[in-house]
Chains A and B, each alone.
Chain A
Amino acid sequence: MSDLLTDVLSGGVRGGTAIMLAALGETLAERAGVVNLGTEGCLLVGALTGYAVAAETGSPWAGLVAGALAGAALALVHAGLVIWRRADQFATGLTLMFFGLGITSLFGVAYVGKAAPGFAPVEIPLLSDVPVLGPVLFAHDPVTYLSYLVAPLMWWWLRRSRSGLLVRTAGERADVLHLHGYRAGLIRGGAVVAGGALAGLGGAQLSTAYAHAWFEGMTAGRGFIAVALVIFAAWRPLRVVAGAYLFGALLAVAPVLQARGHAVNQFAMDALPFVITLLILAVIGRRTLRAAPQELRRVFESSSSN
Chain B
Amino acid sequence: MTDEPLLEVRDLKKHYPITQGILKKQVGSVKAVDGISFDIPRGETLGLVGESGCGKSTAATSIIQLEEPTAGEVLFNGDARNAAETAADARHRNDVTEFDPEELKQFRRQAQMIFQDPSSSLDPRMRVGESIAEPLRIHGIEDKAARQEIARNLLDRVGLSRDDYHRFPHEFSGGQKQRISLARALVTNPELIVADEPVSALDVSVQAEILTLMKDIQEEFGLSILLISHDMAVVREICDRVAVMYLGEIVEIGETEELFRNPQHPYTQALLSSIPVPDPTVDRAGTTLSGDVPSPSNPPSGCRFHTRCPDVIQPEGYDFEQEHWRAVMDLRTRLAQRDIDIEAVREFVATESDRDVEPGAVPDDAAKAAIRNEFGIPGSLQDGRAESVLAEALELIVNEDLAGADELLSTEFETVCERDAPSLSETAPGHQSACHLDSTTATTDSVESAVSDD
A and B interact physically: no
